[in-house]
Amino acid sequence: MRSFSGRKFPGKLIIVEGIDGSGKSTQLSLLSHWLRSRGFGVVFSEWNSSPLVKETTRRGKKKDMFTPTTFSLIHATDFADRSERQILPPLRAGSIVCADRYAFTAFARDMARGVSRRWVRNLYRFAVRPALAFYFRVPLDVALGRILGGREALKYYEAGMDLHLSRDVEESFRLFQGRIIDEYEAMIDEFDFKVVDATLSIEEQQTQIRGIVEEELNLSHANGLLKSPWKGFANGNGIAAHFL
């Protein structure tokens, strides 16, 4: 079964994936600033952020109301809402959409929770196939260290505590996120992930990413696919270029 909708758009969808603490959000944020300064219209879409759904997810998580199926469905609902409002219309208008996590998060996480692969793949079949998908590969210990450096404790669902893999939160996190990493690794070829070594310095990673994005955008420009709001703006001759 085909995983994504085959529709083509004048815009570009760039997404980042990886476990919590892999540093993907930092990298995407740097990338989107850079793209804006180059004169592109950039829309940012974050996993689990739809105003229609967010409150329910928050409440459900707080009260441990989710099962693997409802957890999967509520995230798909969030994704559908963002697709219909935040992702598709800007892509049709020729913008770059940067998504922090995408359907692959659901593929990896829901399968780690025991949801059927066939079912969850079908669930997201309406999703647009990204032009670029970056996967931030990071060892568990590094991710764990980054998360706990930023806040007090691991979250219930992030640690997969609902699966009762272990009573120890850190141990449960390792087991659950380990499964997710296995799922991600298995998708690299299938979905043409660009693998980023997330143990490198922030600057090194960003340079790599910009290089890949640049190549993709140049290609599209040559084909007349990507539109910038003003003529000549996105070719390095934009406002930012005058200031630099």
Partner 1 sequence: MAMESPLTFYDDGLPGIDVGPLCGKLVVVEGPDGVGRTTQITLLRTWLEHSGHAVMDTGLLRSALVGKTIKQAKLGNTLAPLTLSLFYATDIADRLENEIIPALRAGFVVLTDRYIYSSMARAIARGTDPAWIRAVFGFALRPHAIYYLRCSVQDLLPRVVYAKGQFDYWESGMDVRLGKDYYESFERYQTRVMRALDAMAQRYQFEIVDASRSPDKVFRDLQRRISKLLHEKRGKRRAKAKGKAAREAARAPEPGPEPVAEVQSLAAVEG
- Give the binding site for partner 1 (CB under 8 A): 1-2, 5-7, 50, 52-53, 55-56, 60, 65-70, 73-74, 76-77, 80-81, 83-85, 88-89, 92, 113-116, 118-119, 122-123, 125-126
Is the Cβ of residue 80 or residue 225 nearer to partner 1 in the bound state?
80
Identify which of residues 46 and 216 has a Cβ nearer to partner 1 in the complex: 46
Least Å distance between CB 150 and partner 1?
A: 29
228-232: long-range contacts at Cβ-Cβ below 8 A with a sequence spacing of 24 or more? Answer: 228/39, 228/40, 228/41, 228/94, 229/39, 229/41, 230/39
Distance, in Å, from the CA atom of 195 to the CA atom of 188, rounded to the nearest integer, reads 8
Minimal distance in Å, beta carbon 148 to partner 1?
30
Smallest separation (angstroms) from partner 1 to the CB of 133: 20
3-state SS of 78-128? HHHHHHHHHHHHHHHCCCEEEEECCHHHHHHHHHHCCCCHHHHHHHCCCCE
For residues 94 and 221, which CB has a smaller minimum distance to partner 1 in the complex? 94
Please state the closest distance from residue 182 (CB atom) to partner 1, in A.
Answer: 18
Looking at beta carbons only, is 80 or 212 nearer to partner 1? 80
Helix (H, G, I), strand (E, B) or coil at 133: strand
